[in-house]
Amino acid sequence: MNASATIVKEIPLNGTKKGLIAVSKVDAPYGEGSDSVASIGISLSGDAKNPEWKVHLPLGNIDDVIAALQLIKQ
Predicted pLDDT at 72: 97
Each residue's pLDDT tens digit in the chain (74 positions)?
567 899 999 999 999 999 999 999 999 999 999 999 999 999 999 999 999 999 999 999 999 999 999 999 99
The model's pTM: 0.87
Predicted pLDDT at 4: 87
Q: Looking only at Cα atoms, what is the longest distance across the chain?
A: 40
Closest residue by Cα to residue 35 from 64, 57, 66: 57
